Amino acid sequence: MNRKTASLTALLALLAAGLIMPYVAPAHLSQLSMLWLFMVLALSWDLMSGQTGYNSFGNVVFFGIGMYASAALQIGLYHPVAEYTAAMGEGTEYTLDAAQIYAGLALGVPFGGLVAMLAAILFGALLLGMRGHHFAIATLGLAVAAAELAASRGYIGTGFDMPSPTLPNAINSPALFYWLSFALAALALIFYMWLLSTRFRLALNAIRDDEDKAEAMGHFTVRNKMTAWAISAFFTGLAGALYGNLSRSMAPHDVAYSGMEVGVWMILMAILGGRGTFWGPVIGTAVFFGAKELFWTYLPGWQHVLLGALIVIIVAFFPQGIIGWLRERWPNLFAKPEPDEKTTSHTPPRPAISTGGNGHA
């Protein structure tokens, strides 16, 4: 069995597990939905930051944009959004029937993804001309500013939180959102697996390894970065749209643009599993979920500190993540056939000739 079939088999097994899960653990449907959504987030973060080498600390912005865009459309189809938000979604005039909910979800969720993608293209036009570390700090600023701006807009709630549409009792909402999350994750997994088998991945890796050389070889690096970020934002936005419905309330600082929770988690999950690989973020998400439940149960109050410490420990001591460790431990099972495919801990060879100003400013 070669690597490709093995990978494909593992993916099918994962999807099969997803199909069985709700019957095995019907009480944990909402946690399982989050597991799938976080898998999408981690994979999307890794496309930009692991494969392309551009650390984005601001992907949570697309999560929030997708969430609010979707919710605004879901509600806005039937009710004025500002009044709905002001009333906190309460009152009989704001109830939606099942058909309206389904129509809202069918239109709103893709809309959230698209708006997030447009935002990525807009911000990308501003930021992606910058080289690695400038981009990273700029995205940090983006994330901080977005939360503050969202918190001051009355349309989506100032000081209080916009609630997501209330489902009528006829709908089994945990099951509905489980299947939606699972469908999104399945779509993302299949799409990313395909994308990472194409030449586009090599183009992105070329940017990560040596952008100047990639440019000299005739790659349109800015365009490639933009495409990667747009794809990443699209899936992040979709996940955000579903997460908003799942979490019921969309507080700007705590849920939508929560740089300290979702924003950190997606980074942690990807680097835990191993940056720049397909299976890294997937495995990282699963492991992180277990660890998170433990932290939240046994160390209340300290969990965020520990997650920060975990990032430091992973980056400083295991920069290749779980996948990298597996590759080192059992090279003939996991190692890539190509010689220089180890991803993270390697510094790319320094260019003999390089532009004067890119390293510092």
Residues of this chain that interact with another protein (CB under 8 A) are 49, 53-55, 57, 126-127, 129-134, 136-138, 140-142, 144-145, 147-149, 151-152, 159, 251, 253-254, 258-260, 264, 267, 271, 301-302, 304-305, 307-312, 314-317, 319, 344-361
CB of 38 to another protein, least distance (A): 17
Residue reference for tokens 């309330």: 249
CB of 61 to another protein, least distance (A): 11
Compute the distance between CA of residue 91 and CA of residue 100 in angstroms, rounded to an integer: 17
CB of 239 to another protein, least distance (A): 21
Pick 197 or 345: Cβ nearer another protein = 345
Pick 217 or 313: Cβ nearer another protein = 313
Nearest to 22 by CA among 147, 181, 154: 181
Residue at 1: amino acid letter: M
Residue 162 φ then ψ, to 5°: -75, 125
Cβ count within 10 A of residue 351:
13
Pick 1 or 352: Cβ nearer another protein = 352
Compute the distance between CA of residue 277 and CA of residue 213 in angstroms, rounded to an integer: 22
Distances (CA, A) of 32 to 5, 26, 181, 289, 297: 27, 9, 9, 10, 17
Pick 114 or 315: Cβ nearer another protein = 315
CB of 351 to another protein, least distance (A): 7
Pick 133 or 248: Cβ nearer another protein = 133
CB of 112 to another protein, least distance (A): 22
- The answer to whether the CB of 361 falls within 8 A of the CB of 135 is no
Residue at 127: amino acid letter: L
Pick 56 or 70: Cβ nearer another protein = 56
CB of 236 to another protein, least distance (A): 18
Compute the distance between CA of residue 282 and CA of residue 286 in angstroms, rounded to an integer: 7
CB of 66 to another protein, least distance (A): 20
3-state DSSP assignment of residue 13: helix
In degrees, rounded to 5, the angle at the alpha carbon of residue 80 between the alpha carbons of residues 79 and 86 is: 110
Could you tell me which residues are beta bridge partners of residue 250?
A: 162
Distance of alpha carbon 19 from the chain centroid: 22
Lookup: tokens for 20: 């069985």
- The answer to whether the CB of 29 falls within 8 A of the CB of 22 is yes
CB of 1 to another protein, least distance (A): 34
